[in-house]
Amino acid sequence: MTKKIFFLLVIALYGLFNAQSITFVSEKNGKPLPKVSVFGKDGSILAFSDIDGKIDKQSLKPDQEKFQLVYDNVSVATLSYSDFIKDIIKINDRIKDIEAVVIKNDKPAKYILIRGNFNAYVTSDNRLKSYADGIVTYIFNNKTKKLKSINVEQYRIFKLQDEMNGSFLSYTAGLDIPRLKYVGKPEEYKPGKNKIKELKGDQSDQVEILDKIGSEKGFSFLGVTVYDYRKIINISFEKGSGKTLRDFLDYGEIRSSKFKLKEKPIPHPLILYNNFYVTEFNFSNDDDTKKVNFNKSSSNYQKPYWQDPSFPTMQPVFSSFFKEDLRELPNGK
């Protein structure tokens, strides 16, 4: 009898544990969908699915009423709280065809130039504070595969109105260009390595790396304590490839931390999301590519690059929530 009770208890606990998560899967092939954002009705980012397609069900609250799912920078569904009673939710993930990477020169040279599009945004208490997107070229040493420089070509900066009215913290300062950590190092993706998971898809292979980058104590400066730093990195490569720079498709990074103000010791989550999508691959002996200073107090562009249908902008998604309160900073070209 004791063994039977123990067995039933284990089954009950297993069911309870699994009931705490929801899994997003592809409507087309049933495979997990990482990097699905769940927005509340007020524009807060409440959840972001991991490489297994899972989110924590407890992160969703009934008072948000309507939830918008965003995948590949596009809104794909609007669900009510009752829709999340299901453990598995199917999503139409074929919003647009995957753009082929342009190979401009396949003759090996001193440098590897990887050009593409990026977006980045900062949230505090899950609410957007600032946003950026643009075009950037990464230059790697072809021999060592180490990143040599990051050359931003054009970009836009947006602030939420409450940030423009003057808050204690400058959230645009937290905006950053993706650093492409671990890219070009296929030895890092060995199966079974701690904190690394892989997902083989129909068109690409994805790697998730959990990277805790700071202590829980953190540091204090001018009455602000920042602590509990964490980083999640997602990298996609050509399907069945050796995961080299030539196979690289896109990169996503989430850096999270918490901060407390001295006069208000309530912790606030602070999160930076940044993403990069490869459009061109080139070998070159010249590393002097076009670049501008990534000045976070202004935009800098020569043409409306974001109007290209393939450009991965999140600005329309955010503007659907915040309307005219999300304002672009002047173009300082």
For residue range 144-200, what is the model confidence (pLDDT) as tens digits?
A: 999 999 999 999 999 988 654 444 456 787 899 999 988 988 777 776 666 889 999
Q: Is residue 164 part of a domain?
A: yes
Quickly state the pLDDT bin for 8 (edges 50, 70, 90): very low
- Whether residue 32 is predicted with pLDDT greater than 90 in this model: the reply is yes
Q: How many domains, in total, are found in the chain?
A: 2
* Of residues 233, 205, 236, the one with CA closest to residue 31: 205
Distance of CA 24 to CAs 35, 48, 50, 137, 166, Å?
10, 10, 10, 32, 38
The answer on 183 and 155 residing in a single domain is: yes
The answer on 319 and 271 residing in a single domain is: yes
- Whether residue 19 is predicted with pLDDT greater than 80 in this model: the reply is no
- CATH assignment of the domain containing 67: 2.60.40.2070
The answer on 156 and 55 residing in a single domain is: no
Q: Is residue 184 part of a domain?
A: yes
- Whether residue 35 is predicted with pLDDT greater than 80 in this model: the reply is yes
Average pLDDT over residues 268-292: 93
**Contact criterion met (CB below 8 Å) for 247 and 231:** no
Domain with 226, as residue range(s), is 102-328
* Residue 219, pLDDT score: 60
Both tokens assigned to 70: 């965003």
Give the residue with greater pLDDT, 282 vs 191.
282
The answer on 173 and 302 residing in a single domain is: yes
**Contact criterion met (CB below 8 Å) for 209 and 238:** no
pLDDT in tens, 49-68: 999 999 999 999 888 778 99
Which amino acid appears at position 221 of this protein? Answer: F
Q: Is residue 96 part of a domain?
A: no
The answer on 77 and 121 residing in a single domain is: no
Q: What is the mean pLDDT of the chain?
A: 86
If one counts every other C-beta atom within 10 angstroms of the C-beta of residue 279, the result is: 16
- Whether residue 284 is predicted with pLDDT greater than 80 in this model: the reply is yes
The answer on 169 and 59 residing in a single domain is: no
The answer on 111 and 81 residing in a single domain is: no
Q: Is residue 66 part of a domain?
A: yes
The answer on 9 and 78 residing in a single domain is: yes
* Residue 95, pLDDT score: 57
The answer on 259 and 147 residing in a single domain is: yes
* Residue 187, pLDDT score: 77
pLDDT in tens, 100-145: 899 888 888 999 999 999 999 999 999 999 999 999 999 999 999 9
Q: Is residue 229 part of a domain?
A: yes
* Residue 123, pLDDT score: 94
Beta bridge mates, 120? 132, 274
The answer on 241 and 112 residing in a single domain is: yes
The answer on 209 and 141 residing in a single domain is: yes
Phi, psi of 229 (to 5 degrees): -75, 135
Q: Residue 275 and residue 118: Cα distance in Å, rounded?
A: 5
Indicate the residue among 66, 91, 116 that finishes a domain: 91
* Of residues 51, 108, 97, the one with CA closest to residue 72: 97
Q: Pairing mode, if any, of strands 127-141 and 147-160? A: antiparallel
* Residue 300, pLDDT score: 97
- Whether residue 206 is predicted with pLDDT greater than 60 in this model: the reply is yes
Q: Is residue 97 part of a domain?
A: no
Quickly state the pLDDT bin for 255 (edges 50, 70, 90): very high
* Residue 10, pLDDT score: 41
Indicate the residue among 38, 61, 91 that finishes a domain: 91
Q: Is residue 119 part of a domain?
A: yes
Q: Is residue 118 part of a domain?
A: yes
Average pLDDT over residues 9-37: 74
Average pLDDT over residues 234-254: 94
- Whether residue 312 is predicted with pLDDT greater than 60 in this model: the reply is yes
The answer on 188 and 85 residing in a single domain is: no
Q: Residue 22 and residue 58: Cα distance in Å, rounded?
A: 10
Indicate the residue among 91, 123, 146 that finishes a domain: 91
**Contact criterion met (CB below 8 Å) for 88 and 57:** no
Give the residue with greater pLDDT, 244 vs 97.
244
